């Protein structure tokens, strides 16, 4: 019996997060037993160059000595206190220094917790109920965010999962990412009812889709004028595309920011924070309730702090961006030589590619129209060549500091081989 078959006997769907099941690409998921640097090793002993990086956290690569040492030394003192520890404050100070828009912060254990809590805080602070999100942007699986668009900008949202009550959906408006006109119209009509706008400044859950010039600026202006709260979901982009996150790249100051992945260094940790006056509405200072038994877990705080300290190395992001661009340029050239239409994007240690005739991808409908069957074949071809990509055409990829010239060159060589079979 396969490992996946055994898992399915006791784990719902055989996995603890749906994308891991390989449903979008077919076949059984790979079970891994170890990781080091840019490499993963499966239970059957095969090694793969890893471009998933635990879905983003492993910016230093797997098993970085400084992070492992911090985790081991902290674990020796105890795994969890359920009480304050100095490491929480140290990590909070580090994050606030890197992202000046965050004046105060609250630690949580997952990105879903962070976004859910930030939205509750925005609603409670401002006293409004409606929120705006964008199609193709994923902010975790809380009820308010599992809402797809209705037939028009102001129609009631539609739950995208059973178990989400229609009453929840009526307060969530889902619009098209990069459509400034649509959100301007909504604010013109019901701006006084909107509590917040939540957006990935670079969408990473419909592959990698950057904002068009002026889009984020429009969101900032509309929220300011209407007294609404602008939330940047930087769970993925925070410390991944730049030291100060996407907000530092685009020069936009959100009111609240959610972060995760890298902030935990591979351990379960995330956070939300922003303007001090808004954060003052969170209990125990204010009436908006939020709590978590394992929030600020000392081992996770140590891993996150050790990771962020490594990012201070001079030239870290320049080197990381150069590696990522080298990879993406190589993939694009290989696809062009094989006459395969491919649109690519990259920034910092984040990249994406879409099998499409479009020269660039900026909206969800463009991603949805891409050739997912070709991606599926490419994914399995690369897997056979020892390259592990995200098992979905709608996920971004990640390069780490541990990826060297040899890994990048081997990946491009593999891609050339596989492109010629598509």
Pairing of strands 32-36, 397-398: unpaired
pLDDT in tens, 98-128: 999 999 999 999 999 999 999 999 999 999 9
Catalytic residue among 50, 233, 255, 371: 233
| 200 three-class SS | coil
Query: CB neighbours (10 Å) of residue 243?
Result: 16
- Name the DSSP letter for residue 242: B
In angstroms, the CA 169 to CA 140 distance is 15
Closest CA to 61 of 241, 310, 238: 310
In angstroms, the CA 87 to CA 297 distance is 9
Token pair in block for residue 64: 């970085």
Q: Which residues does the chain have with pLDDT short of 70?
A: 147-159
Q: Which domains does the chain have, with CATH numbers?
A: 3-59+314-419 (3.90.1150.10), 65-310 (3.40.640.10)
**What pLDDT was estimated at residue 157?**
55
- 225 as an active site residue: the answer is no
**What pLDDT was estimated at residue 149?**
52
In angstroms, the CA 136 to CA 364 distance is 6
Q: Cβ-count burial of 178 within 10 angstroms (0-12 exposed, 13-18 middle, 19+ buried)?
A: buried
In angstroms, the CA 375 to CA 355 distance is 7
pLDDT in tens, 327-368: 999 999 999 999 999 999 999 999 999 999 988 899 989 998
Q: Cβ-count burial of 402 within 10 angstroms (0-12 exposed, 13-18 middle, 19+ buried)?
A: buried
Length of the chain, please?
422
In angstroms, the CA 157 to CA 154 distance is 8
- 138 as an active site residue: the answer is yes
Catalytic residue among 48, 94, 133, 138: 138
Instruction: Give me the half-sphere count of Cα atoms (radius 13 Å) on the Cβ side of residue 137.
Output: 31
Catalytic residue among 261, 317, 323, 388: 261
- Map tokens 């795994």 to a residue: 79
- 417 as an active site residue: the answer is no
**What pLDDT was estimated at residue 155?**
43
Residue 422 · residue 338 · CB < 8 Å: yes
CA 51 to chain centre: 14
283-310 exposure pattern, b = at least 16 Cβ within 10 A, e = fewer:
eeeeebebeeebbbbbbbbbbbbbbbeb
List Cβ neighbours of 296 (8 Å cut-off, separation of 6 or more): 84, 85, 87, 88, 107
pTM above 0.85, yes or no: yes
């Amino acid at each position: 019996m396969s490992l996946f078959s055994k898992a399915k006997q006791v784990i719902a769907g055989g996995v603890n997060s749906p994308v891991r099941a390989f449903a979008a690409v077919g076949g059984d998921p790979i079970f891994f037993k170890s990781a080091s640097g840019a490499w993963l090793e499966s239970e059957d002993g095969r090694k793969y160059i890893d471009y998933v990086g635990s879905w983003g956290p492993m910016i230093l690569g797997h098993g970085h000595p400084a992070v492992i040492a911090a985790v081991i030394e902290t674990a020796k003192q105890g795994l969890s206190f359920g009480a304050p520890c100095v490491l929480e404050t140290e990590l909070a100070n580090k994050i606030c220094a890197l992202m000046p828009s965050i004046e105060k912060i609250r630690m949580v254990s997952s990105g879903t917790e962070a976004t859910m809590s930030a939205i509750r805080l925005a609603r409670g602070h401002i006293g409004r109920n409606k929120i705006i999100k964008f199609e193709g942007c994923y902010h975790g699986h809380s009820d308010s965010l599992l809402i797809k668009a209705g037939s028009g900008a102001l129609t009631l949202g539609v739950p995208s999962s059973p178990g989400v009550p229609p009453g929840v959906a009526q307060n969530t408006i889902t619009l098209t990412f990069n459509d400034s006109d649509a959100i301007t119209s909504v604010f013109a009509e019901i701006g006084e009812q909107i509590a917040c706008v939540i957006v990935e400044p670079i969408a990473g859950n419909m592959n990698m889709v950057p904002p068009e010039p002026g889009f984020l600026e429009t969101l900032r202006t509309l929220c300011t004028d209407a007294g609404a709260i602008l939330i940047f979901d930087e769970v993925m982009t925070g410390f991944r595309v730049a030291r100060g996150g996407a907000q530092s790249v685009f020069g936009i100051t959100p009111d609240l920011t959610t972060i995760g992945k890298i902030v935990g260094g591979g351990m379960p940790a995330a956070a939300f924070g922003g303007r001090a006056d808004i954060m003052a509405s969170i209990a125990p200072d204010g009436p908006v309730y939020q709590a978590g038994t394992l929030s600020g877990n000392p081992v996770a705080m140590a891993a996150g702090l050790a990771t962020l300290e490594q990012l201070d190395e001079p030239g870290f992001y320049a080197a990381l961006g150069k590696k990522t661009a080298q990879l993406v340029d190589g993939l694009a050239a290989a696809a062009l030589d094989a006459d395969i239409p491919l649109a690519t994007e990259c920034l910092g240690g984040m990249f994406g590619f879409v099998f499409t005739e479009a020269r660039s991808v900026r909206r969800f409908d463009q991603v949805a129209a891409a050739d997912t069957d070709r991606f599926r074949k490419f994914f399995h071809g690369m897997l056979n060549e020892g390259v592990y990509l995200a098992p979905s055409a709608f996920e971004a990829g990640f390069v780490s500091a541990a990826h060297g010239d040899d890994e990048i060159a081997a990946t491009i060589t593999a891609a050339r081989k596989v492109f010629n079979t598509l």
